[in-house]
Chain A
Amino acid sequence: QKEVEQDPGPLSVPEGAIVSLNCTYSNSAFQYFMWYRQYSRKGPELLMYTYSSGNKEDGRFTAQVDKSSKYISLFIRDSQPSDSATYLCAMSAGGTSYGKLTFGQGTILTVHP
């Protein structure tokens, strides 16, 4: 079993839809949680960062972390065709494990006009 599980999709939604992307994990030491967006043939770019449990909002994006359930989510409101990309969750324990990110396999999202 992988340490981080992410549904690879693909996920196809109409423009304007609310998108929910999710990851589950098994390592209870994880405390830093990130979402990266990766456009085709580009490097991943940091989209959202959350420390420990709770919610974080940035424009149309909301990241949620539920450490008790070992579950993180990314919500995209009013999705746009420009949101079409692969979304990767990543997490780390920090401390002596600084820099050792564990990634999900990524979810391919297509937003069609």
Chain B
Amino acid sequence: DAGITQSPRHKVTETGTPVTLRCHQTENHRYMYWYRQDPGHGLRLIHYSYGVKDTDKGEVSDGYSVSRSKTEDFLLTLESATSSQTSVYFCAISARGTRTDTQYFGPGTRLTVL
């Protein structure tokens, strides 16, 4: 998984509770991304980061926030989880400057909000 780990790998939580997912990379890549994957929707970008403390919104950012205080870590927070946020969450990384726009994915976090 291209030097990417995600934690936790599985989580069950209740509606209204805060949840933080962590993505850790050992590749020293500048760009990091959070996606969610749902049946019938493929992968959709939630937020991304292009450097420490530099983040921006993706396609489905409502209800999510992110932080990146170190190159290697990118955190995704659900401030108050809802059942619609039940999904599989993937972190990805890429290295701009390689003339490609390819991304490499972590193993995923399966989140269930009851």
Interface, chain A (partner B; CB < 8 A): 4, 6, 8, 32, 34, 36, 41-46, 49, 51, 88, 90, 92, 94, 98-101, 103-106
Contact B48 A99 (CB under 8 A): yes
Contact B50 A46 (CB under 8 A): no
The stretch from B12-20, B37-45, B68-76, B78-86 touching chain A is B37-45
Contact B103 A49 (CB under 8 A): no
Which of B4, B40, B45, B106 is in CB contact (< 8 Å) with A100?
Answer: B45
Contact A98 B96 (CB under 8 A): yes
A-B contacts besides A34-B102, A101-B103, 9 pairs, CB < 8 Å = A42-B107, A43-B107, A43-B108, A51-B99, A94-B101, A98-B96, A101-B43, A103-B43, A105-B41
Chain B residues within 8 Å of chain A by Cβ, number: 26
Contact B103 A99 (CB under 8 A): yes
B58 interfacial contact with A, CB 8 Å: yes
| Least distance between B71 CB and chain A CB atoms (Å) | 16
B1 interfacial contact with A, CB 8 Å: yes
The total of interchain contacts (Cβ-Cβ below 8 angstroms) comes to: 62
Which of B40, B42, B108 is in CB contact (< 8 Å) with A88?
Answer: B42
Which of B1, B41, B48, B58 is in CB contact (< 8 Å) with A43?
Answer: B1
Distance of A99 Cα from B101 Cα, bound (Å) = 6
Which B residues are CB-close (under 8 A) to A8?
Answer: 40
Contact A43 B90 (CB under 8 A): yes
Which A residues are CB-close (under 8 A) to B105?
Answer: 36, 43-45
Contact B90 A44 (CB under 8 A): yes
Distance of A49 Cα from B107 Cα, bound (Å) = 21
Contact B101 A105 (CB under 8 A): no
Contact B50 A99 (CB under 8 A): yes
Q: Which residue of A is nearest B6, CB measured?
A: A43
| Least distance between B69 CB and chain A CB atoms (Å) | 20
Distance of A4 Cα from B42 Cα, bound (Å) = 10
Q: Which residue of A is nearest B96, CB measured?
A: A98
